[in-house]
Amino acid sequence: MTAFTTIQTRPFDGQKPGTSGLRKKVRVFQQPGYLENFVQAIFDSIGDCTGKTLALGGDGRFFNREAIQIILKMAAGNGFARVMVGQGGILSTPAASCVIRKYQTFGGIILSASHNPGGADEDFGIKYNIPAGGPAPEAVTEAIYARTQQIDKYRTTQVGDVDLDQLGEYPLGDMVVQVFDPVADYAALMQELFDFDAIRALFAGGFRMKFDAMHAVTGPYAKAILEGLLAAPAGTVMNGTPLEDFGHGHPDPNLVHAHDLVEALFGADAPDFGAASDGDGDRNMILGRGFYVTPSDSLAVLAANATLCPGYAKGLAGIARSMPTSAAADRVAAALGIPCYETPTGWKFFGTLLDAGKATLCGEESFGTGSDHVREKDGLWAVLMWLNVLAKRQQPVAEIVREHWAKYGRNVYSRHDYEAIDSAAANGLMEHLRGLDLKGQSLGAYKVAFNDDFAYTDPVDGSISTKQGVRIVFDDGSRVVFRLSGTGTEGATLRLYVEQFQPDPAQHHLDPQVALADLIKIARDVAQIEARTGRTEPTVIT
């Protein structure tokens, strides 16, 4: 029987996991008992932990190491037999999913606030992934939240800290802490999926790439895989050392925050290919020379070219995308004669489809792409899949995407974010939209086919999720979608997604902001964005 100490505690308000775990300011997490309560609520909600193995690690942000020491002692106090922790406390979200599945652990705890900034005054986060390797589904996060509201004690072990930097196995009470190489298992999996010889030959032939790790978790992974196994030139990986504050950056791989990379790819003598990943390594942005690939297009192009990659040579069972993601992938699925599933925002909704073998590739407009190789979206995986496609097709990124549009038509797409707006105003705006009945009405030159608040019934387990985003869909298939972010920590973030199908290749070169201008205006007017939020322009446009 493990020796443990019971500590009395009181519930904290607001420990409700969002789209992906609990995200709060570091100072909130530093309150005595705050992290402990949430961790105990996880352990109390997932069944008997006795004798089990847990995977543990994070994106290296401020408070990562302290949190790991706390969780290790609590795991020992709760009867775990072993915790596998990434060396230095580092473990990317997709690598955690890989390790959970490979070693059949009793799930894992990942410490990350993803793409949110890090530092003493910035964000921290924690999420539990289930034994299948994916984010906890809503039933589990609801149980964890319910437990946080009742909690009156937690269990820990009074022992010293573990050296997280030396590989090996260390006793902690009656438990074993296994400090493991966080890259090795993940790199081995990537070699099973992609043609590393072809990609090596691509680099050997002078192909030039920049990968921006944004001083976040993918640095060690990208260096080992791109510059190591694939022999890309040293310097291919930029900002490759994980830092607690991401070098004062915002580790969000988009056109605004990955500015070093964007400058390189849109500047003189640009490399052939550019990519970036986020804080915890699950997001990706793909760039060609002077060319941005939207995440929705990236999913569609990868799906259309998947059989060029050894791991997907047999073809795809199906594709899944989140509702606000463009329908570009649906067109590929239709051409391939496979189903395309439309889910609510959040990778957790793909889990059942992947487990049931209904979907092979999944993607989201929020810079997330992945497959059934793990149960999380996977930034470097997407980059390697693109490299595999580029190595086989021997064409520039822009040419591949333009040919794709010419064949399938282009789903012109843009997302406008209004960050850190007043929460009451944001909720009021959404309530206003929910109350509208626009069917049959004309808005500008567009006629509304229907408007609704997206609801989803999981085709595998029948679970129902409501209020997943307001859609206004027009007769020609164009649409505007509104939802509030579930990942922010300050006020509310309103996301506006705008999409229009353009079959005419003569129009494909147009800047989406120009092509979508009428729809954007209609969306702003119908939602009364300026009147309700005071914002005349979005904070970020992608």
Q: Is residue 298 a contact point for ligand G16 (CB under 6 A)? A: no
Q: Is residue 539 a contact point for ligand G16 (CB under 6 A)? A: no
Q: Who contacts 457 (Cβ-Cβ below 8 Å, separation ≥6)?
A: 463, 464
Q: Which stretch binds ligand G16 (CB under 6 A): 221-229, 255-263, 364-372, 515-523?
A: 364-372
Q: Number of C-alpha atoms within 13 angstroms, CB side, residue 28?
A: 16
Q: Which stretch binds ligand G16 (CB under 6 A): 35-43, 360-368, 449-457, 469-477?
A: 360-368
Q: Which stretch binds ligand G16 (CB under 6 A): 28-36, 152-160, 308-316, 342-350?
A: 342-350
Q: Is residue 418 a contact point for ligand G16 (CB under 6 A)? A: no
Q: Is residue 368 a contact point for ligand G16 (CB under 6 A)? A: yes
What whole-number distance in Å separates Cα of residue 23 and Cα of residue 16? 9
Which one of residues 487, 502, 533, 542 is an interface residue with ligand G16 (CB under 6 A)?
A: 487
Helix residue ranges, H only, 229-356: 259-266, 295-305, 328-336, 351-355
Cβ burial 400-420 (10 Å sphere, 16+ → b, else e)? bbbebbeebbbbbbbbbbbbe
> What is the smallest separation between the CB atom of 341 and ligand G16, expressed in angstroms?
14
Smaller CB separation from ligand G16, 216 or 522 = 216
What whole-number distance in Å separates Cα of residue 287 and Cα of residue 82? 41
Among residue numbers 6 through 35, which ones bind ligand G16 (CB under 6 A)? Answer: 19-20
Q: Is residue 133 a contact point for ligand G16 (CB under 6 A)? A: no
Could you tell me which of 255, 73, 54, 271 has the C-alpha nearest to residue 155? 73
What whole-number distance in Å separates Cα of residue 112 and Cα of residue 97? 14
Smaller CB separation from ligand G16, 332 or 484 = 484
Q: Is residue 479 a contact point for ligand G16 (CB under 6 A)? A: no
What whole-number distance in Å separates Cα of residue 414 and Cα of residue 209? 26
> What is the smallest separation between the CB atom of 54 and ligand G16, expressed in angstroms?
20
Q: Is residue 351 a contact point for ligand G16 (CB under 6 A)? A: no
Q: At what angle do helices 328-336 and 295-305 cross, to 10 degrees?
A: 10
Pairing of strands 22-25, 123-129: antiparallel
Q: Pattern of binders to ligand G16 over 96-125, x per CB under 6 A? A: ------------------xx----------
Smaller CB separation from ligand G16, 156 or 298 = 298
What whole-number distance in Å separates Cα of residue 133 and Cα of residue 108? 8
Q: Is residue 52 a contact point for ligand G16 (CB under 6 A)? A: no
Smaller CB separation from ligand G16, 331 or 377 = 377
Q: Which region holds residue 462: left if phi is over 0, alpha if psi is between -120 and 50, else beta?
A: left
Q: At what angle do helices 184-193 and 93-102 cross, to 10 degrees?
A: 90
Smaller CB separation from ligand G16, 240 or 295 = 295
Q: Is residue 371 a contact point for ligand G16 (CB under 6 A)? A: no
Q: Is residue 413 a contact point for ligand G16 (CB under 6 A)? A: no
Q: Is residue 242 a contact point for ligand G16 (CB under 6 A)? A: no
Q: Is residue 414 a contact point for ligand G16 (CB under 6 A)? A: no
> What is the smallest separation between the CB atom of 432 and ligand G16, expressed in angstroms?
20
Smaller CB separation from ligand G16, 18 or 409 = 18
Tell me the three state secondary structure of residue 108. Answer: strand
Smaller CB separation from ligand G16, 219 or 344 = 344
> What is the smallest separation between the CB atom of 141 and ligand G16, expressed in angstroms?
12
Smaller CB separation from ligand G16, 95 or 308 = 95
Smaller CB separation from ligand G16, 182 or 379 = 379
Cβ-count burial of 254 within 10 angstroms (0-12 exposed, 13-18 middle, 19+ buried)?
buried
> What is the smallest separation between the CB atom of 19 and ligand G16, expressed in angstroms?
4
Q: Is residue 369 a contact point for ligand G16 (CB under 6 A)? A: no
Which one of residues 366, 388, 489, 542 is an interface residue with ligand G16 (CB under 6 A)?
A: 366
What whole-number distance in Å separates Cα of residue 444 and Cα of residue 454? 24
Catalogue the active-site residues. 114
Tell me the three state secondary structure of residue 34. Answer: helix
Among residue numbers 489 through 508, which ones bind ligand G16 (CB under 6 A)? Answer: 495
What DSSP assignment string belongs to 154-190? EEE-------TTS-EEEEETTEEEEEE-TTHHHHHHH
What is the C-alpha R_g of the chain?
23
What whole-number distance in Å separates Cα of residue 391 and Cα of residue 177? 41
Which one of residues 15, 296, 298, 345 is an interface residue with ligand G16 (CB under 6 A)?
A: 345
Write the CA distances from 323 to 27, 214, 440, integer angstroms: 34, 28, 22
- Contact residues toward ligand G16 (CB under 6 A) are 19-20, 114-115, 278, 282-283, 322, 345-347, 364, 366, 368, 485-487, 495
